[in-house]
Structure 1
Amino acid sequence: MAANTHPQAASDSSTPLPPLYVDLDGTLIRSDLLIESVLELLKRNLLYLFLLPLWLLAGKASLKQQIARRVGVRADLLPYNDSLLDYLRDQKALGRKLVLISASDQTLVNAVAEHLGLFDQAIGSDGNINCSGIRKLTRIQQDDPVFVYAGDNRVDLPIWEKASAAITVNLPAALQQRVIAKTALEHQCDYPQGAVKAYVRALRLHQWLKNTLVFLPLALAHQLDNPALILNALLAFLCFGLCASSVYVLNDLLDLPSDRQHYSKCRRPFAAGDIPLISGLILSPVLLLSAFSVASLLPRAFVVILALYYLCTGLYSFVLKKIMLVDVILLAALYTLRIISGAAAIAVVPSFWLLAFSMFLFFSLAVVKRYTELDYLRNAGMSQTEGRGYFAQDLGMMAMFGCSSAFLSVMVFALYINNEETRNQYLTPEILWLICPLLLYMVTRIWLLAARGQIAEDPIVFALKDRVSQAVTLACGLLLWLANIPWREVLL
C-alpha cells in the first residue's frame, strides 16, 4: 500500500527535499537484526546464553556491540522491504539526502548501508548510546533540524512528532492515525507480514504426515478395532505434530542465514520475513508446552520418549546437523522413535524386526534428502553445503550409502518372514514374500527419481504423498491382511 500526501515529496527544483532518515529493523528490512544476531550467537555456542545477561548489565548498546563483535550480518541475504527500497531509489534520483539510522550496532548498520549503496550516512548504536527513541531523535536533530522519518514502531512516535513528515511501515491502524494527527504523511510502505497462511506454512502441517508412523504398532498389533487404543494413537499423533512444529519453528529461527542461501528454503516464512521473529520465539515454546500437556494423558513411557525426541532434535539443531553422516543417522533414529512412541502409547513392545527394518529404510530416505541437496549444489556450480559437512563431490558415495541401506531394509524384512515368531503370528506367512518385490520397487524408484532430480521435498513426505508409493503401501497392507487368512484350509 502506498500513499503520498506530502507536497515536499514531489520533485521541485526550487524547494530542496528535507533529509530522509530511515529506520532499519522492521522498516527497511522485514526482520530484526538483534534477534537474528542473538540466535546466530547461541547457535554457534549455547554457553553464550549465560553471558548475555552480564553484557546487558552494561546497557543495551554494550550488549549489541558485544554480540556484533562475534556475529556479523550477510546484508545481501536480508529480506528487504521492496516497496520502500523502490521509493528510496526514486528519492535518491531526485538528489535527496538519505540516512540509515538504527538502534542496531553501528557495524551491522554499516554493512547494510554499504551493500545497498543508497545512503549518504549510516548511524547506529556505538556501544555507549542505544540509538533508539529520544536518543535517536537527538542524534537526527544534531545534523538536520528539519527532516522526514521512516519507521515502523510505537517507539518512533517522539521522532514523528518533530518530523516535518512521516513515512510509515506496517503500523496498526490506531497508531497510524496518531502519527497522521501529529505530522503530514509523505508515504506509506507496508509489506505483508503475519498472515494466517504464513503461520500455517511455519508449522509445516504437511510434515505431520511423518507422524502417521505412530499408528504402525497399532496396525501390526491387530488392534484397529480397539477404540481406546485408537484414541491413544490419535493423541500420540497430535503430540508429535505439536512437538515437531515447535522444532520446525526453532530450526527455522536458527537457520536464517543458511535458509536464505537455499534454493527453496529461502521462501520459508521466517527467512523471507513473512512472520516477525519475536512471534516465532513465542510460538515454539507454546507448541512444545501444548504437546506435553496432551502427552500427560498418555502412558509415562510415551512422555519420556517424546522428551527424548525433543532433546535429540535440539542436539540436531545446535550441533549434530553440522556433522556429516551423524545428521542422517540421527534423522533415521528420529523416524524410528516415532514408531517406538506409537508402541508406548498403546502399551505394546515394538518388534525387533520392525525397528531394524525401519532404521535401515529411514536411513536410506534421510540420505535421499541430502543427496537431492548435493545434486542441486553440483548443478548450481557450488562446492559445499551451507551449515553442513558435505561437498558436491560426496554425491556418489551418498547414493551408495542410501541404496545399500534400502536393500538392507528389504533383506531384514525377508529374514523377518522366515522368523519362527512370524510363522506363529500369521496363518499364511508365505504370502508376506510378495511384499519384498514391492518394497524393492518402491525404494529403487525413489532413488531413481532422486538421481533424475525429480524429488524436491522431504523424501518421507514424498513417499506419503506419491500415488505410486501410496499404492505400494496399500498393497503391502493388503498382503499383511491376506497373510492372516488360513488359505490352506480355504483352498483344500
Structure 2
Amino acid sequence: MPQATALYTAKTKRCEARKKKRRMTEPTQTESPDTTPLILDVDGTLLRTDMLYESLWAAAGRNIAATLKTCVTQWRAPNLLKHALCEIAAPNVALLPLRPAVLDLADAARQAGRAVHLASGSDQALVEAVAQRLDLPGPHFGSDATRNLTEQSKAQMLVERFGEGGFDYVGNSNADLPVWSKARRIIAVSPGGTLRHRLEAMGKPLEVVEDRSDPFALLREMRPHQWIKNLLLFLPLLVAHEFGLSVFLAALMAAAAFSIGASAIYILNDLLDLESDRLHPEKRNRPIASGALQIRNAMIASAGLVVLALTSAWLVGPPVAALTLLYMLTSLTYSFWLKKRRWIDLASLAFMFLLRVLTGAVAAQIAVPGVVMAFVFVVFFTLACVKRMTALARDVDHGKLPGRGYGADDFRALKVLAAAGIVLSAAAFLLYAFSGHSGGLYGSQMIFAATVLPLTLWLFRVVRLSELGREDYDPIQFVTHDRIGLMIMVIGVALVILSL
C-alpha cells in the first residue's frame, strides 16, 4: 500500500508540472482596458460653487446697474443670461474652490487611459476655462447661444455624442437625474436620502462620493463674534447712568436687531468680495469663499436676516427700525461702492459705528451730548485707519489692496491720520470729562479725566502694532485676544469706577 501511494503521488506531480508548462507556453488572455469616458458635472460637483451665481456677483461688483438690467431682460433665457453676465464680468476661474474627491476621480480615470470631459449648464467659455485650469484636453460642453445645457438637454447631447450607456457620469443633484438615466455608471456626490433612493431604483452601478459641507457654515458666515461691536448701543445708558430694566431691554432688543442686520450685510459683502477674499491669506477660508456655504443658500439667508432685523427693530419702535434700515443701506452702499474709495471709506466706517450709538440712544430715549458723539466718531475713524494700515503692512506684494483703493504709497498718510485721531480722541474725551454733564454724574472729574491716559495708550498701542504688521486682520479678534491691551482697558474701567 505505501508503494502504491508513492506511485500515485509521483504521477500527480508529473501531471501538474505538464499543466504548468502548458500555461507558461500558451498565450495569456487579458481583459481589454475600460475606455468608457468619464463625464463630470461642474457646478456643485467638480466645483464647490455654482458659476452662474459666481458670475452674478462678479458682475454686480463691477456694474450693479448693468447686472440688474441683464437679470430683468434675460431671466427667461438662462443660457443668454449666463453669457451676458460673463460679458459684464466673469469670475476668476483659477480661484474657484475645487472638490478634491471629484478631482481624484478625474485623475484616476486619466491615468487609466480614459477620456475625461466636462459637461455643465454654465457658459461654454467658463467651462473651457475650468478645463484649461485642470489641463483636460476635451472636448468639453457648456451652454451657448442656442442651448441651456442642463437636465434633458445635457442628457440628449451626451447620448448623441457617446451613445446611451456609453459614459459614466458624476453629478450632485436632482437636475442630473436625466443624465444618470442614460449613463452606464452613476457617481453621485453627497446625495441626500431621497436622491440616493431614486438612484438606487435605477438599478445601475452606483458609487457615492461623500463630501459633506460644514453644518455650521452659515453660523460662521454670520460672524457672531462681530456682534460685540453692537455693545455700543448700550453706551448712551452708560453715559447717562441709566440702568433701569425697561431701558436696558429696549437697548438689548435694538442691539439684537442690529446684530442680525449686520450679519445680513456681512454675507452680502462676502458675496461681492469673493475674488479678493480668495486672494487673501485668511479670508480665503471664509465659508462662501471656500465653498463651504453655497452662494444660493447665502443669498436666501441674507434676505431672511434683513426681514428679521427690520421686524425686530420695529418692535422697539419705528425710529429704531428706520435707523436700522439706514445702517443696512449705508453698509450696502459701502459694500458696492464706498469701500473702494480712499479716505471716504474711513469716514463711512466711523459713521456706521456712530449709527450704533445713535440707535441705542433712540431706543432708550436718552439724549447723548454732542461731544460724546464726536469722541465716538474720531475713535472709530482712527481704528478704520488701523484696519487699512494692517492690511498694507502685511501685504507681501506691497501693491494695491484687492478690492480697496489703497496702495503702499498711502501708508504714511494713514499713519498721520491715525496719529491725528489719537490726539482728537483725547481732546474730545477731556472736553466731556470737564463738562457740566459729567460734573453731575461723577464725584471726581479729575479721576474721570485721568481715564484719558489708558485710552490714549491703548490707541497708540493699536496704531503702532498695525504699523509693524503685528495686528490681526480682524480688529475684533485682536482686541479680544491682546492681553496687554485688555489690561490697559481694565485700568481705564477701574478709573471710571473710582471717579463715581
- 1:63-462 aligned at under 5 Å gives the runs 63-145=81-163, 146-185=166-205, 187-193=207-213, 195-224=214-243, 226-377=244-395, 380-462=396-478
Give the 3 Å change call, closer, same or farther, for CA 183–69 of structure 1 in structure 2.
farther
CA distance in 2, matches of 1:467, 1:228: 35
Query: How many angstroms does 1:186 deviate by?
Result: 5.4
Query: How many angstroms does 1:304 deviate by?
Result: 1.7
Give the 3 Å change call, closer, same or farther, for CA 15–206 of structure 1 in structure 2.
same
Give the 3 Å change call, closer, same or farther, for CA 115–435 of structure 1 in structure 2.
same
Q: Match for 2:68 among 41, 49, 57?
A: 49
How big is each residue's C-alpha offset from its partner over 1:249-294, in whole Å with a ceiling of 9 and x where there is no partner?
A: 1111111111111111100000000011111111001111111111
2:50 maps to 1:29: no
How big is each residue's C-alpha offset from its partner over 1:223-247, in whole Å with a ceiling of 9 and x where there is no partner?
A: 12x1111111111111111011111
Greater shift, 465-474 or 134-143, is seen at: 465-474
Greater shift, 469-478 or 388-397, is seen at: 469-478
Which gives a bigger RCO, structure 1 or 2 (Cα 8 Å, sep 6+)?
A: 1
How big is each residue's C-alpha offset from its partner over 1:446-492, in whole Å with a ceiling of 9 and x where there is no partner?
A: 122223322113224532453433333343333233323xxxxxxxx
CA distance in 2, matches of 1:401, 1:123: 54
Greater shift, 43-52 or 303-312, is seen at: 43-52
CA contact (8 A) 1:463 1:470 kept: yes
CA contact (8 A) 2:233 2:359 kept: yes
Structure 1 unaligned regions, length at least 5: 1-11, 485-492
Q: Name the larger-Rg structure.
A: 2
Structure 2 unaligned regions, length at least 5: 1-29
CA distance in 1, matches of 2:205, 2:103: 18
Aligned residue type for 1:238: A
Number of matched pairs: 468
Aligned residue type for 2:190: N
CA distance in 2, matches of 1:85, 1:438: 55
CA contact (8 A) 1:137 1:158 kept: yes
Give the 3 Å change call, closer, same or farther, for CA 338–257 of structure 1 in structure 2.
same
Aligned Cα RMSD in Å?
1.7
CA contact (8 A) 1:209 1:461 kept: no
CA distance in 1, matches of 2:397, 2:69: 41
CA contact (8 A) 2:199 2:206 kept: no
Structure 1 length normalisation: TM-score?
Answer: 0.91
CA contact (8 A) 1:164 1:183 kept: no
Aligned residue type for 2:473: E
CA distance in 1, matches of 2:313, 2:265: 16
CA distance in 2, matches of 1:178, 1:300: 50
